[in-house]
Amino acid sequence: MEFATFATRAATIDAEPADLEIVDHVRALLEAAGEDLEIVARFVQGRVFPAWDSTTLDIGPRTCYEAIARAAGTNVDADDVEERLADRGEIGDVAASYDFGGQQGLGAFTGRGDAGGDGNTGSNGGELTTREVAETLSDLAAADGAGSQDRKVDLLFGLFNRCSSVEARYLSRLVLSEMRIGVGEGTVRDAIAAAFDVPDDRVERALQVSNDYGRVARVARDAGLEGLDAMDLEIGRPVQAMLAQAGTVMGALKDWDEAGVEWKYDGARIQLHHEPPSSPGSNGAPAGANDAATTRIYSRNMEDVTNALPEVVEFAEETLEQPAILDGEVVAVDDAGEPLPFQEVLKRFRRKHDVAKAREEISVRPVFFDCLHAAGEDLLSEPLTRRHDRLEQLLSADENLDPAAVDGLSLLWFSDDPEAIESIDAEALEAGHEGIMLKDPDSTYSPGRRGKHWRKRKPDIETLDCVVTGAEWGEGRRATFLGTFELSVRDGDASEKRGSARSTGAPQHLETIGKVATGITDETLAELTALLEPHIVAEDGQDVDLEPAVVFEVGYEEIQSSPTYSSGYALRFPRFVGVRHDKDPAEADTLERVQRLRYGGRR
């Protein structure tokens, strides 16, 4: 397809506000693309390479300005281009404002590296095609090492020098990843379905497994529905990660019979693609086809991060005996294997140099929570429960092994009981993780989707200031700390209530509303113990009564009616936020506020 045809249609789409019309224009473009269909399906989205391919052009804006300036004439330089950009605000507009094509004598490149050839360098070099643009941009992406920046400018210049105004507009936007003509992934999906008469849900599935709009368009055209349905995941081609929405335990339990609950690891997302050395029967490969294991690791944006994470490669090589695509998190750990904060994993994650040295300083380990492909079988449309079973089988050679002992496996619990989920949350925090994830056990894996099937439990927005009226001495290494703090709120009219907090001599009546034990580090526990110990008025075994003196700010997920506490209410998932040193108990929150929060919306 001539690049001018593409650019003219792109301009029409750019000016079109109606979504349906845009789909129709993209359909027409795909139908007319001929041999260049794959390229056109990518270009129209502003992509040069397939979505799974992390190759980048690696062109800074300045390189592009220089190429534009050179094609625009001897009296234009990159600064002029930049000035026009400041004026016009958009690179396409700037590129379209120059008159290109008069620089035959200056450049010896057509963009395909045929320097010194037939002198085909100017606008007289014939019509530019989308294929020529794609191939030149691939050469440009491959340019590496000394002199590569000059080579990139040369190649780009060769292209701009053959551009009309409308071509220059869309070439510059393509090169700088600023296409922005309103064509999203859904538009291309619908256009492929309309152009080649295939159902859009099947196009969608093919897109999910291949992550390649160009290829899906070609298969839809050349092999129809059958071809699309035959497209599968491929080891070495990352798919988009399934994402989570913010949610609550109570919300999840309303929507699902029971919730899948996992620890939320505080690391970086990884997708592991592993192919063991081939043996007869593995993935249908003939013996000896692949003598060494192949392991690739991709980040959430499908960047290849394999070289930065040798521990993960070693883990895969030692553990996996079947071809697999696994979804998980890589976490930084200390010498005892305890998780370190997220910032630490970042020091390792995209590192390109001195990996061995960085590894000596910070270790990482993978934890996998999902399985997209196992031993030749794609699992995207299987329920979470089955995918997790397959994951466990892949990671554990011994099926009788307790899942908790399986290295690299994220445990998945199922529960419809908020108390049980609360204790998983407490354990997760205690073990140094971020909290919990809630997952619909029946849900399929939807690449790139931020649906309701995965929910990340977010810290609470609403907080209450509660008086600390009791506590318990801890156990084991925490025996010298007070923990599990009893919380109370003020009640202005205690005579009507059923009882009162254990504390007496309070400035006001206090009613218990819950206990908080989670979200508190050892360091903070030591500080809190020092703060509260002088206020102990009675002790009974591990339990202590405290005179009302200290106010905690506490987050929670929900307020519930409950017979357990004297206020008649309980906080679900209470979390310690901090000490309100600026408040004394007489200024703590009241039962009336609790009732308003419970019944009258959050105020």
Ligand X SMILES: Nc1ncnc2c1ncn2[C@@H]1O[C@H](COP(=O)(O)OP(=O)(O)OP(=O)(O)O)[C@@H](O)[C@H]1O
**Nearest partner of 201 among 184, 182, 186, judged by Cα:** 186
CA atoms within a 13 Å half-sphere pointing along the CA-CB vector of 388: 21
Check binding of 440 to ligand X (CB under 6 A). no
- Residues of span 238-267 touching ligand X by CB under 6 A: 243-244, 262, 264-265
Check binding of 410 to ligand X (CB under 6 A). yes
Strands of the sheet containing 363-374, edge to edge, are: 294-298, 268-275, 324-333, 363-374, 377-378
Count of residues that interact with ligand X, criterion CB under 6 A: 11
Element (H, E) at 487: strand 482-491
Q: How far is the CB of 262 from ligand X (least distance, A)?
A: 4
Distances (CA, A) of 552 to 465, 486, 507, 536, 549: 6, 10, 17, 16, 10
- What is the DSSP secondary-structure string of 171-228? HHHHHTT---SS--HHHHHHHHHHHHT--HHHHHHHHHHH--HHHHHHHHHHHHHHHH
With respect to ligand X, which residue has the nearer C-beta, 373 or 388?
Answer: 388
Check binding of 14 to ligand X (CB under 6 A). no
Distances (CA, A) of 600 to 461, 462, 542, 603: 16, 14, 38, 8
Which residue among 264, 352, 357, 452 is the active-site one? Answer: 264
Identify any residues that bridge with 512 across adjacent strands, giving them in sequence order: 488
> Are the beta carbons of 290 and 278 closer than 8 angstroms?
yes
Query: How far, in Å, CA of 381 to CA of 438, rounded?
Result: 19
Q: How far is the CB of 318 from ligand X (least distance, A)?
A: 22
With respect to ligand X, which residue has the nearer C-beta, 54 or 595?
Answer: 54
| Helix and strand element counts for the chain (H, E) | 20, 19
> Computed from CA positions of residues 557, 559, 563, 567, in that sequence, does the dihedral angle turn out positive or negative?
positive
Check binding of 369 to ligand X (CB under 6 A). yes
Check binding of 437 to ligand X (CB under 6 A). yes
With respect to ligand X, which residue has the nearer C-beta, 269 or 449?
Answer: 269
Q: How far is the CB of 350 from ligand X (least distance, A)?
A: 15
Torsion of CA 385, 386, 388, 392, to 10 degrees: 130
Query: How far, in Å, CA of 33 to CA of 393, rounded?
Result: 46
**Tokens in use for 304?**
């290849």
Check binding of 445 to ligand X (CB under 6 A). no
Check binding of 392 to ligand X (CB under 6 A). no
**DSSP E strand boundaries for 220-267:** 243-247, 259-264
Q: How far is the CB of 269 from ligand X (least distance, A)?
A: 4
Tokens 């400035």 sit on residue:
507
273-310: buried (b, 16+ CB within 10 Å) or exposed (e) per residue? bbbbbbeeebbebeeeebeebbbbbbbeebebbbebbe
In the stretch 311-350, what mask flags binding to ligand X with x, by CB under 6 A? ------------------x---------------------
Question: Which residues have a Cβ under 8 Å from the Cβ of 94 and sit 6 or more positions away?
Answer: 68, 81, 84, 85, 88, 172
With respect to ligand X, which residue has the nearer C-beta, 262 or 589?
Answer: 262
Residue from 131, 456, 497, 535 binding ligand X (CB under 6 A): 456
Binding site residue list for ATP: 262, 269, 300, 329, 369, 450, 456
- What is the DSSP secondary-structure string of 139-171? HHHH--STTHHHHHHHHHHHHHTT--HHHHHHH
Query: How far, in Å, CA of 414 to CA of 390, rounded?
Result: 17
Alpha helices in 89-129 (DSSP H): 91-96
Question: Which residues have a Cβ under 8 Å from the Cβ of 159 and sit 6 or more positions away?
Answer: 67, 111, 128, 132, 133, 136, 171
Q: How far is the CB of 366 from ligand X (least distance, A)?
A: 12
With respect to ligand X, which residue has the nearer C-beta, 140 or 268?
Answer: 268
Q: How far is the CB of 310 from ligand X (least distance, A)?
A: 21
> Are the beta carbons of 442 and 384 closer than 8 angstroms?
yes
Residue 497 known to be catalytic = no
Binding site residue list: 262, 269, 300, 329, 369, 450, 456
With respect to ligand X, which residue has the nearer C-beta, 315 or 369?
Answer: 369
First-to-last alpha carbon distance for the chain, in angstroms, is 61
With respect to ligand X, which residue has the nearer C-beta, 179 or 409?
Answer: 409
Q: How far is the CB of 342 from ligand X (least distance, A)?
A: 9
Q: How far is the CB of 179 from ligand X (least distance, A)?
A: 23
One-letter identity of residue 534? P
Q: How far is the CB of 449 from ligand X (least distance, A)?
A: 11
With respect to ligand X, which residue has the nearer C-beta, 64 or 412?
Answer: 412
With respect to ligand X, which residue has the nearer C-beta, 387 or 580?
Answer: 387
Q: How far is the CB of 416 from ligand X (least distance, A)?
A: 19
Q: How many residues does the chain have?
A: 603
Residue from 62, 205, 269, 452 binding ligand X (CB under 6 A): 269
Rg (CA), the chain: 31
With respect to ligand X, which residue has the nearer C-beta, 182 or 459?
Answer: 459
- Residues of span 68-87 touching ligand X by CB under 6 A: none
Interface residues toward ligand X, by CB under 6 A: 243-244, 262, 264-265, 269, 329, 369, 410, 437, 456
The residues annotated as belonging to the active site are 264
